[in-house]
Amino acid sequence: MEPTFTIPHPSLSRNLQSSAVSPSLVHSLHETRSSVLSLAANEDYIFSGSQNRHISVWDKNTFQLKTILRGHTGSVLGLEYAPKEKWLFSSSGDSTVRVWSTDTLQLLYVIHPYMGEGAGDLFSITWSSELQTIFIGCQNTSLQWFSFKDPILKTSLSASSLDLSASGSCTPNARKAHKFFDSYPQYERKAADIYANNGVGRIRGRTSPESDFSDASNAEYLDIPATNVLDSAHYGYIYCMTILPEREGMIQLATGSGDETVKLWNCSAKVPTLIHEFECNHGAILALVAQGDTIYAGCQDGYVRVFDLETKTLVRTLIVQEGVDIIAMSLLKSDLYVCSADGSIKRHSASFDCTASWSGHQGIALSSIVTKRSVMDDSGYWLVTGGNDEKIKVWDITTPKQGVRPSDDEDGQHPQKSCIGSGTYPDTMRFALSKFISIPSISADISHKEDCRQGAIWLKKCLGQLGAHTALLANGEHSESNHVVLATFKGYSGDKPKPRILFYGHYDVIPAPMGATDGWESDPFSLTGRNGYLYGRGVTDNKGPIIASACAAADLLSRRALGVDLVFLIEGEEECGSKGFKEIVQKHKDTIGPIDAILVSNSTWIANDRPCITYGLRGVVHCGININNAGPDVHSGIEGGAVIEPMMDMVRLLATLVDNNRVIQIPHFYDKVRPQTEDEKKLYKLLSEITKKPASLLSSRWREPSLTVHNVQISGPKNSTVIPGKVEAQISLRIVPDQDLDTIVQSLRDHLQKSFDDLHSPNTLQISVNHTADWWLGDLDDYWFKALESAVQEEWGVEPLRIREGGSIPSVPYLEKEFGCHALQLPMGQSSDQAHLPNEQISIVNLQKGKAVIERFLLKVANKDSPET
């Protein structure tokens, strides 16, 4: 089934680009008949590593080719410049790392990895000046390193140890054929030898030593010993790596792999030890960059994962372009430049917005670096990119005006840690909400089934970008229930267990007809702002509170202040009875994990100018009554008086439910109703003064049970001359503490059946209980309630009103019982929000302050010594 609307793009990065801010092209360099796989630069030169095995050296001042560094016999996969040593490292598909002097442009060292060509292609390298060590990421999944501080490893091979074979190739005489990397194509039926052409990393045919080994006779040949190898450092190729800023005297290395993980290693000891592993779950990690305490992982399917190194948490996910590999990334302070497999280049700002996007290459953008301009023009920076279009392009870029990213404080302090509501994402909340509102996720209408599915998918991606670990939960492959979105914002790990709070909400909405007489002043599925309010279906019930709460968690993550796990459980059928929700929760309870408290924001204040906390909901029993005479509809003039009319039976039966004083007549119905306390009477008096409504009216709406007859439907043409043969009625009971739901349901059935039997009618009665929900009452003395109440008072500057709701939210009492903990209800909207009605709205102030209240509450409960459930 096709969606009935245009699916909004999932990215939360606002498009703030314009032609005026896109970098201008300074110069293009042409790499003859070869892809540009790697780049490096110093003050004088740009170095480019190519697929055709050589390194081009380009003069920064003139952009002319200075020279070509030859010697590799495979593609140059990695380049790394060591500024203090003035060395250029190059790694290749020929399973060697070469070290060149950037002063003399001569070869200094050739480093052979352990197992030689058994290590495969050397995809990535990085240099630690403090350790005087080069780290190497290998195709055989090993992590290897060579330390120039260790004289024992410097075993020089003289020029005479080189063996010029009959083919003219120049290799160390210890070189042996590898059964995989030195294999011919199978159809050639040849045994492996060192001259086989197995991919881009091998050459065949005669090549002179002069052309392939520039000044090789003056180079030292170094071997990495078995002690300097971590086998199976990853479960995939090690495509990228970077040395991280020193922390507490510890030098760390980050590696990214085809196994979809980023690993952190402590390299301060002789052998690197694993510190932490980040799960990315978006394909192979093809690019890594780091700044301050933040690391960015570019993934195969077009996502960038942003991790905080101090708290070891995911703080954001960027959707650059879904399904398009991210090949290279570079940083200029807080600006992130991302190069993709479609040749595009995008710039993202400190707020993770896209501030520039342009086509960089006619093909794949394979490599990038940021470097200072030439010595003659040292006033700014260049972004240098290379592609498979044989081009190296130099782009003029400027330092961002605003500061570093939220977690990159240079003095080591936590920026904004106590600054509630300041918001690292000031516009993200509204931007996300506008996309969320555009999805007509109407659960009661089967024609919107696909829209609901798209709503769940979009919300999963939205929460993932804000820093959550996400999943879609379902009953099974053939389940008709809409998906439940599970998203966990993981707080930082401290010395004590973290509280785990479940935020419950729903992404489905009720219908919003848009006709001449339907009352909407603007498109209900297009977020519209008027006079300080946002309008749209679901903006207050319940999409606005969901986005506000998620942005609160995202802000705390960015400030390293999220000390709890906040678990979002967002269903898609609350507006039509939450069918299937219980089964989904029970099936995936282990995935959801233990919960200490439940937070709900799915109601409104009692008035427009005083914040509230809801501490009670009535339960509900929806019941259908069917009376049928098993015959056809008949004419009243012909059969009137001769038949026992189902309508008469229905009228008499419904009349038995209440007396003349509207007291419900079901036996023992009021036996368990909890008496009103003195504190409640005082509260209702206060609320009566504020709302200008009688206290008795508030009490009857919130804490007293009720019975409603919703409709009566008949068969036939529905005109005044027909006696219908079938009559159906829908009724509901609202129940309160301490009425037992199952007992009330059975009592209702028994009363209806007995009353009907007393009519002695030949007609038949059918009773169907279509939907039930238990009542809920919060604990006003509970730690969690008091923390929420305190957070509201601090944000609004006034003590919140304690209110109850006459309606029902079936999942709230169910979740309390299922997870064995207390629930809290924080209304964000005002009484005039028009939930379920035309022109549904929410105040921008309420949305912003609601987000800030969530932040305050999470900070408070994070400091709790031991959660009380």
- In this prediction, residue 427 has a pLDDT band, given cuts at 50, 70 and 90, of confident
* pLDDT value of residue 191: 64
State the chain's mean pLDDT as an integer: 89
User: Strand locations in 42-164, DSSP E?
Assistant: 45-50, 55-59, 65-69, 76-82, 87-92, 97-101, 107-112, 122-128, 133-138, 143-147, 162-164
Q: Is-contact 56 79, C-beta < 8 A? A: no
From the candidates 574, 649, 816, 855, give the one annotated as an active-site residue: 574
Higher-pLDDT residue of 172, 190: 190
Helix, coil or strand: residue 755: helix
Neighbours of 187 (CB within 10 A): 6
Whether the pLDDT of residue 478 is over 70: the answer is: no
* pLDDT value of residue 863: 78
The reply to whether 574 belongs to the active site is yes
- Characterize the bridge pairing of strands 500-506 and 565-571: parallel
* pLDDT value of residue 198: 45
Neighbours of 157 (CB within 10 A): 17
- In this prediction, residue 28 has a pLDDT band, given cuts at 50, 70 and 90, of very high
Q: Is-contact 705 735, C-beta < 8 A? A: yes
* pLDDT value of residue 33: 86
Q: Where are the domains of the chain?
A: 443-511+518-617+777-862, 619-670+705-773
Distance CA 51, CA 367 (A): 12
Residues paired with residue 69 on neighbouring β-strands, in sequence order: 55
For the chain, the C-alpha Rg in angstroms (whole number) is 35
Whether the pLDDT of residue 166 is over 90: the answer is: no
Taking residues 173-190, report their average pLDDT.
56
CATH fold for domain 443-511+518-617+777-862: Aminopeptidase (3.40.630)
Sign of CA dihedral 813, 816, 822, 828: negative
Distance CA 85, CA 90 (A): 15
| pLDDT, tens only, 152-163 | 555 443 333 333
Neighbours of 128 (CB within 10 A): 19
Neighbours of 536 (CB within 10 A): 28
- Point out the least confidently predicted range of 225-239, 266-280, 409-423, 645-659: 409-423
pLDDT > 70 in the chain, percent: 87
Q: Degrees (nearest 5) of the Cα angle 156, 160, 162?
A: 85
Q: Is-contact 452 508, C-beta < 8 A? A: yes
Taking residues 354-376, report their average pLDDT.
93
Whether the pLDDT of residue 215 is over 70: the answer is: no
Strands of the sheet with 335-340, listed across from one edge: 326-332, 335-340, 344-348, 354-359
Taking residues 806-835, report their average pLDDT.
95
| pLDDT, tens only, 4-22 | 678 899 999 988 887 667 8
Q: Which tokens go with 813?
A: 């009492």
Whether the pLDDT of residue 734 is over 50: the answer is: yes
Distance CA 543, CA 463 (A): 13
- Characterize the bridge pairing of strands 528-530 and 612-617: unpaired
Whether the pLDDT of residue 213 is over 50: the answer is: no
Q: Which tokens go with 361?
A: 């290459």
| pLDDT, tens only, 488-545 | 999 997 778 899 999 999 999 999 987 766 889 999 999 999 999 999 999 999 999 9
For residue 75, which amino acid is it? Answer: S
- Characterize the bridge pairing of strands 45-50 and 722-723: unpaired
619-670+705-773 has which CATH code?
3.30.70.360
Q: Degrees (nearest 5) of the Cα angle 686, 692, 694?
A: 75
Taking residues 570-596, report their average pLDDT.
94
Q: Which tokens go with 637?
A: 């003039």
Q: Degrees (nearest 5) of the Cα angle 254, 560, 473?
A: 80
* pLDDT value of residue 561: 94
Whether the pLDDT of residue 818 is over 90: the answer is: yes
- In this prediction, residue 82 has a pLDDT band, given cuts at 50, 70 and 90, of very high
Whether the pLDDT of residue 240 is over 70: the answer is: yes
* pLDDT value of residue 190: 64
| pLDDT, tens only, 262-297 | 999 999 988 999 999 999 999 999 999 999 999 999
Angle at which helix 449-465 crosses helix 543-558, to 10 degrees, equals 20
Sign of CA dihedral 417, 419, 425, 430: positive
* pLDDT value of residue 1: 58
- In this prediction, residue 339 has a pLDDT band, given cuts at 50, 70 and 90, of very high
From the candidates 293, 408, 508, 555, give the one annotated as an active-site residue: 508
Cα distances from 134 to residues 146, 242, 392, 778, 863, in angstroms, run 5, 11, 26, 60, 43
> Residue 133: how many CA atoms within 13 Å on its side-chain side?
23
Which helix (H) or strand (E) segment is 198 a member of?
none
| pLDDT, tens only, 657-715 | 999 999 999 999 999 999 999 989 999 999 999 888 899 999 999 999 999 999 999 99
Burial 568-588 (b: 16+ CB within 10 A, else e): bbbbbbbbebbbbbeebbeeb
User: Strand locations in 334-451, DSSP E?
Assistant: 335-340, 344-348, 354-359, 365-372, 381-387, 391-397
- In this prediction, residue 211 has a pLDDT band, given cuts at 50, 70 and 90, of very low
- Characterize the bridge pairing of strands 726-735 and 619-628: antiparallel
Whether the pLDDT of residue 626 is over 80: the answer is: yes
Contacts 24+ apart (CB under 8 A), 81-90: 81/40, 81/41, 81/42, 81/47, 81/127, 82/127, 82/129, 83/42, 83/129, 84/129, 85/129, 86/42, 87/127, 88/40, 88/42, 88/47, 88/55, 89/125, 89/127, 89/134, 90/38, 90/49, 90/55, 90/125
| pLDDT, tens only, 98-131 | 999 999 999 999 999 999 999 999 999 999 999 9
The reply to whether 378 belongs to the active site is no
- In this prediction, residue 862 has a pLDDT band, given cuts at 50, 70 and 90, of very high
- In this prediction, residue 246 has a pLDDT band, given cuts at 50, 70 and 90, of confident
